[in-house]
Amino acid sequence: MCSLWLASTALVLWGGPLAGGVSVQPHPLDPLTREELAAAVEILAASGRTNAGSRLALIALREPAKQDVLGFVPGLPVRREAFVVVYERAANRTFEAAIDLGGRQVRSWTEIPGVQPAILTEEYALTGDIVRHDARWQAAMRRRGISDLTNVYVDPWPAGEALSPEERTRRIVKAVAYYKASSHNAYARPIEGVIAVVDLTAKRVIRLLDSGVVPLETTPRELDEASLAPQREPPQSLEIVQPHGPSFTIAGSLVRWQKWQFRFGMHPREGLVLYTVAYEDRGRLRPILYRASLSELFVQYTDPSPAWAFRNAFDEGEIDLGRWATRLEPGTDVPTNAVFVSAVIADDKGVPYEIPNALALYERDGGLLWKHVDYPRVNESRRARELVLTWVGNQGNYEYGFNWIFRQDGTLTVEAVLTGIVLPKGVATAGPGRSIALVAPHLAAVPHQHWFNFRLDVDVDGPKNRVVEVDTVPAPGTSGSGFSVKETPLGHEASARRQINPLSSRRWRVINPAARTELGQPAGYALVPGDNVRAYASPDSIVGQRAGFIQAHVWVTAYDPAEMYAAGAYVNQASRTRGLATWVQANRSIDNRDIVLWYTLGVTHIPRPEDWPVMPVHRASFTLEPDGFFGQNPALDVPKPH
């Protein structure tokens, strides 16, 4: 059983009843508890399939079949299973296991040949140990006047695609180095041009790239308040007070707020996952999303030099973003009225550990909700409230926040929040133009793109949906002064690879042909893009093939529970994608079917000096808004504040 413990606005996922003896009804989509994670490890070991040298690259809930979840009756027994990815380093082999936790047995055990799981947590320290003992690397450091090797931070990067055929059969990382000394900011002084290619299976450096000595930046840049002194005069205090507590309720993994209802969990790869998102409409709970999450995060740097060309990281598929959820702090990361949820995740050996305050929920002012003035007597308006579910993942130099923002009018906005340290490059002098931005005397920042892909398993009033592309177009016969709305149904996967078009106000309506409003229209929700960019990696390039999902902003596929990640299940060292670009070649029908909507959100970052030593937050978002789902404004019943 999974439940929550309430103490000083902190909620901790654990197994057992609520404080005070009140039990929480278990649900098939509740995340694995600490006890269940431990049981999965025990069952595997007892079966003889794992040993002390095995590494459990991922342990997560093996979600039940969709039809079983939708047909679940509270009070009936819940079958709980774990999905485990096992890596055997000595043999360099990867296996997948499905474990029946109640029956305490391994239901399936399958080797997945030719793949590498994401970089393990222990491999960060392992890479550093291997590199520091290599004589060639030590000599490269001495050429740069560095003898205190313990003060060099070694950062393993996914190897990417530039590997020889023999190297592809090994587990490889490419190690980048920074001179940290006594600084807490390891990224302020890159040791430019030195890349160690590390075989983690044989535990040795197999190649060393040294493209020449570049002057080392001499100025460390700390980010604590004392180092950044003097500080400006602080603004007057701004307090958010809810003396009667929050307006939302949490029971197990279930949240209810202002007619919204949804479940949530933390996944070690995806991070936050939302389930069964629905809205109450006149006493009827109407489904909108069955499952929603970030399916991939890809970063591409533009520098073609040998020390940089491989830096095209899949921060989810290659590094397991959810494992790196950070502890959220009240008053800075989130407002002081936030309620926190701690996540329980298993480490490389399967030992459960807690990430305190990994998630937060809070209410905030949403501005004006609606208003109308009709002189002399009518002046009606309402103030909006929003519910934010948030988390932040660390990926080395960058931090990525994700806000799921629920509004009283049935709108759901998904926001990516980018901050942290732009990846620095050591330079002798500044280059011309803006191809690279000088941020310190011997330090520059390389332009790059961030690509987020969100998997949205839409169930608008039920699982059988249709997607209609909506554009505004010039209307004929209006002397060029009018326009009309054009709707184009998307019938098959191959034709549903779509690009944004802000000039035509393009959006995509997901409708249920069988569900009609009182106006006789099919119930619908629209995906409305925010700011977005084009991809510069050509489809036939290696990068373009590994990250094929960036070639379109919108994809629609027929529902398949095995198709979870936009770049495929195993991205690390993969030469080609097995994700969206491959799946849509089947060209399955997506008309009046159970479908999945995938949205690709891009950010092109041209660094500025103002982004150093830590960049101000950049936000990018998209929105799901009701479009024919209701017969009128659903926020008319929001009362005036008392």
The CB density around residue 332, as the number of other CB atoms within 10 Å, is 8
- CA-to-CA distance for 444 and 437, rounded, in angstroms? 5
Q: Which one is catalytic: 398, 559, 570, 599?
A: 398
Report how far Cα 503 is from the mean position of its chain's Cα atoms: 29
Q: Report which of 110, 252, 114 is spatially closest to residue 562, judged by C-alpha positions.
A: 110
Q: Which residue bears the tokens 């608008």?
A: 460
Q: Which residue bears the tokens 């103490």?
A: 7
398 catalytically annotated: yes
DSSP string, 617-639: EEEEEEEEEESSSSSS-TTTTPP
Q: What are phi and psi of 207, to 5 degrees?
A: -150, 150
Whether 187 and 223 have beta carbons less than 8 Å apart is answered as no
Residue 257 forms beta bridges with which residues? 260
DSSP state at residue 541: S
Q: Report which of 255, 594, 601 is spatially closest to residue 458, judged by C-alpha positions.
A: 594
Q: Report which of 596, 587, 624 is spatially closest to residue 491, judged by C-alpha positions.
A: 587
CA angle 53/120/89 to nearest 5° reads: 35
- CA-to-CA distance for 190 and 180, rounded, in angstroms? 9
- CA-to-CA distance for 555 and 390, rounded, in angstroms? 25
Report the relative pairing of strands 10-14 and 615-626 from DSSP bridges: unpaired
Tokens standing for residue 539: 């489809």
Q: Report which of 272, 310, 311 is spatially closest to residue 417, judged by C-alpha positions.
A: 272
DSSP state at residue 336: T
Give the 3-state secondary structure of residue 601: strand
Cα separation values, 563 from 566, 567, 589, 612, Å: 8, 10, 16, 39
Tokens standing for residue 536: 């510069």
Residue 613: asked if its preceding bond is cis (omega within 30°), the reply is: yes
Whether 508 and 527 have beta carbons less than 8 Å apart is answered as yes
Q: Which one is catalytic: 281, 315, 459, 611?
A: 315
459 catalytically annotated: no
- CA-to-CA distance for 328 and 325, rounded, in angstroms? 9
DSSP state at residue 143: T
Q: Which residues are catalytic?
A: 315, 398
